[in-house]
Structure 1
Amino acid sequence: MVLGPGADAELPESEVLGLLEEVGAVTVGRIAGDDVRSLDAVLSWHPTEASALVAAGADGLKGSVAMRRGHAPVPISDHTAEVWLTDDPLPGVVSPCSGTPENDELT
């Protein structure tokens, strides 16, 4: 599952969307403003740049946001609040729950 393609600034949104399409991922929903408001307590306790961008996208905001650590500005677009699902892992990405020896207790 991927929430907010590119919202963490590790890869550009367009690259994440391309990878999602490459593995046959589909959009299964969107985070809505009401969803964000129901999680206000959690988001205020553990805010992240990525979760703030998803929340902004869920509220319908558009634009771009400067990120820490010198990353290029990240867009808030129609894709920012999307939830994507795939049966296959993304190329070169290891899931923390994929059964690797150090994570066997998670599977």
Structure 2
Amino acid sequence: MNLGLPVTSKSVINTGMNVMPAETTMHRVFCQNLRSMRAAGSLTQEAMADRLGMTQPQYAKIENGSHVPSLVTVERITIALGVSVAELLGSAHPMKQRSA
């Protein structure tokens, strides 16, 4: 049933100040976490790129948000950093507890 409203599969997050597409928020959190986790491990962008089998400029595009990595690359990143996907994505989408 169409009520004249636009149909979209994109979810949104209300930040209190404005409404942002959820994937934009998740991507921003991913990039921030990636940068801080790499730095916490005392890794340069070049060292991280070597671990991932890519060049430093390719890795920099992922870290600065101008390129969205594939799921395979995300998995490689988590292995290189020794973290889980959930840790890498941080709190972009807090999970609600379901009652049993």
TM-score (norm. length: structure 2): 0.24
| The structure with more strand, counted as a fraction of residues | 1
TM-score (norm. length: structure 1): 0.23
| The structure with more helix, counted as a fraction of residues | 2
Higher relative contact order (CA 8 A, sep 6+): 1
